[in-house]
Structure 1
Amino acid sequence: MAPSLPAALPWVEKYRPTKIKELVYQQETAHLLYSCLTSGNLPHCLFYGPPGTGKTSAALAFCKELFPPEIYKDRVLELNASDERGIKVVREKIKRFAQGTVSTAKFEGFPCPPFKIIILDEADAITSDAQTALRRTMEQFSKITRFFLLCNYVTRVIDPLASRCAKFRFRSLPVQLQVDRLKYIVCQEGISVSDEMLQTLASYCNGDLRRAIMMLESAYRLARGNNITNEIINSVSWRVPDRIISQIDSTCLKISSSGENTLHFSELRNMAMEFINNGYPVSEIIYQLCEALISVNHLNKLQKSVIMIKFAQAEKMLIDGSDELLILMDIFGILFQVYNEPDNVEKLISLTRG
């Protein structure tokens, strides 16, 4: 019987699947792992897909069913490649573990095949030289060592390394599956949360179950025993309230239709300052504005295209370290210009340049 987990453990770890049958939605991967569990044979595996979809959980659950706790640390090495991604780690830590001998001890209830497993999380963060060295290590010690390479972007793993692995794509989890898992956690923790709140929370996570669980725990702690409200969910998810997004659109539309072009700058600046002072993340404002403006009826296709191009440029400048207030002012200015001259095609196209 597994030891009880400490109460202070974060929910993400506390409710991480420990058996292959507990994995949801990734049927192909679960079927492969179950087959390997019964046959005792395993290829090198490459799991790729969006974050929070179960890549690490699948690899760990498989290893826990393969080896007993007594020899787990001797047979399984887990590394996070975003922290340890240089060629030195591959040549020393990984190679030293891979070339070690494997015991022939057997334990009842566990297959204990004659190989070890190295789980390399965020493998797409490994440098090219380190990936080349890792390929050589995989070739040399394939008889006694298997690799799980986990990554978000399979294109960042070099072809010689990827071609030596069985590749499995992890898909984003549907909202309903996330809600079902959140309901289970809520039931286990003995807390009261409405289905509507769970649905809202899951819809904000874009298929990332890990993020959904972390947001649920944060909302529960923030509520301090009270009901979890939309305001609390917006706070823990960095979500900008819908009324704020509507305010941006309506304000820019109002100013452009009023004809008072000389007064628009101060009003737009005051609105931008208010958002910055309230701590709303500019990246989230851009994302939610994109969602909102796609479905509005007062913009034609050309206007929407111009706005989206400028939003992409603004997000790039934000990543490069530009001032958030200036980025917001740029966004509001673009909306004002597009609304102010909706039929001037040449002017609209010129806005996308530079």
Structure 2
Amino acid sequence: MANLPWIEKYRPATLDELVSHKDIIDTIKRYMTLGEVPHLLFYGPAGTGKTSTILALAKQMYTPSEMRGCVLELNASDDRGIGIVRDEIQTFVSTQTLHKKGIKLIILDEADAMTNDAQNALRRIIEQYTATARFCFICNYLSKIIPAVQSRCTRFRFGPLSNEQMMPRLQYVIEKENVQIDQEGKKAILQLANGDMRRALNILQSTHMASSLVTEISVYECVGHPSKNDIKTIINVLLNENFTVASQTLSTLKTLKGYALADILTELHRYVHKIDFPREIRIHLLIKMADIENRLANGATEKIQLSALISAFQKARQVESS
């Protein structure tokens, strides 16, 4: 247990330990109480409790000895072809179980990575073995699950967690692991996690191992995310310096701190909304930043996109001055 990552060490073992989505948890508890658990489809951003919820449900439905024969957990991003459906899943659901209820549970994590052929092959299996098996599909993007599978499942959306929901669990881990942390460090972790509990615990563990005291500065340094002071410097340069000076200053800062342009854009986006720009200039900057982020996501060179970012602010300054 000592060597486990904290995300596994403190993964909720029961439905009552889950920190959010009370309506979803209450509904699933009612299904379990009535013995009428349907096929399930959990979707939403990463780190919001989808996998933890179904694993907690499985632990409450089966004893540890029954889990081995009644629960099949597959990561569909690894086993995503039609072969895994016809071989492993078909074999598992068709074999008899000694479990008193006779119901097996098949968990398909990252199901949005499954091919359409594999999903189509599952349609008939889901219907054919409804009396003896329940499927749970877990994905980030609902649109990548074919309508035929969606219609056979009860869907639940797991939204990003709020800071108020995440803080008690974060505080629990801090106390259990005796982490030395200040209030600003907690706020920095929650802001960087952006509703992702898994990311929050990973940041906490990484920073704790790298620094004796977890502070806002140590959190940003450990993650490699632009600090507030550096973002203020970048904003000041973009708004006041000419193209040559801005290009040299920002290139040097990126190299020294190892910042990714995508992270800089994320923070700049917040400032563009805070600064009192005229409406036309704010719209111009947001469109340009969105285009740059899209090009970065498609593999464009950071150096060229940094020049495009500086150019967008230079253009905005010219429009404002005129």
TM-score in terms of structure 2 length: 0.95
Q: How does 1:1-354 map to 2 (within 5 A)?
A: 6-105=1-100, 113-223=101-211, 226-255=212-241, 264-277=242-255, 278-297=257-276, 299-342=277-320
Shift of 1:94: 1.4
Q: Tell me the CA shift for residue 319 of structure 1.
A: 1.4
How far apart, CA to CA, are the structure 2 residues paired with 1:139 and 1:190? 50
Give the gaps of 5 or more residues in structure 2: none
**Aligned partners of 1:292, 1:84: CA distance in 2, in Å?**
43
Contact 2:39 2:135 survives alignment (8 Å): yes
Distance 1:56 1:20 in 2: 12
One-letter amino acid matched to 2:263: E
Asked whether the 8 Å contact 1:282–1:324 carries over to 2, the reply is yes
Q: Take 2:39 and 2:229, find their aligned partners in 1: how far apart are those partners?
A: 50
| Pairwise CA distance, 1:280 | 0.3
Which amino acid letter does the alignment assign opposite residue 267 of structure 1?
V
Q: CA deviation at 1:285?
A: 0.5
Alignment check: 8 A CA contact 1:268 1:329 kept: no
Equivalent residues of 1:286, 1:315 under 8 A apart: yes
Instruction: Give the Cα separation in 1 of the matches to 2:4 and 2:188.
Output: 25
How many Å separate the matches in 2 of 1:267 and 1:118?
Answer: 58
Offset at 1:343?
A: 6.3
- Code of the aligned partner of 1:30: I
Count, aligned residues? 321
Shift of 1:57: 0.1
What's the offset of the Cα at 1:115? 0.8
Distance in 2 separating the partners of 1:301 and 1:104 = 65
CA distance in 2, matches of 1:68, 1:215: 33
Which whole-Å CA distance do the structure 1 matches of 2:56 and 2:306 have between them? 45
* Residues in 2 aligned to 1:288 and 1:33: alpha-carbon distance in whole angstroms: 38
Could you tell me the percent identity over the aligned residues? 34
Post-superposition offset of 1:177: 1.7
The Cα offsets for residues 167-223 of structure 1, whole Å up to 9 and x where unpaired, read as 111121110221111110011112222233212211221111111011100110011
1:43: Cα distance to partner?
0.4
Contact 2:224 2:258 in 1 (8 A): no
Give the Cα–Cα distance (whole angstroms) in 1 for the partners of residues 46 and 239 of structure 2: 37
Question: Bigger CA drift: 313-322 or 231-240?
Answer: 231-240
Cα distance between partner residues in 1 of 2:20 and 2:67:
27
What 5-or-longer segments of structure 1 have no aligned partner? 1-5, 106-112, 256-263, 345-354
Instruction: Name the CA distance, whole Å, in 2 between partners of 1:250 and 1:129.
Output: 53
CA contact (8 A) 1:179 1:199 kept: no
What is the CA–CA distance in structure 2 between the aligned matches of 1:68 and 1:124, rounded to whole Å? 30
- 1:53–1:207 CA contact under 8 A, matched in 2: yes
Whose radius of gyration is greater, 1 or 2? 1
Between the aligned partners of 1:276 and 1:75, the Cα distance in structure 2 is 52
Native 8 Å contact 2:207 2:219 kept in 1 = yes
Report the CA distance between 1:50 and its aligned residue.
1.4
Q: 8 Å contact 1:115–1:143 — kept in the other structure?
A: yes
1:108 maps to none
Residue by residue over 1:208-248, the C-alpha shift from the partner in whole angstroms, topping out at 9 and shown as x without a partner, is 1111011100110011xx21122211023332112222222
| Runs of at least 4 residues off by over 4 Å | none
Residues 102 and 144, structure 1, Cα contact 8 Å, conserved in 2: no
Alpha-carbon offset, residue 90 of structure 1? 1.4
What amino acid maps onto 2:137 in structure 1?
A: L
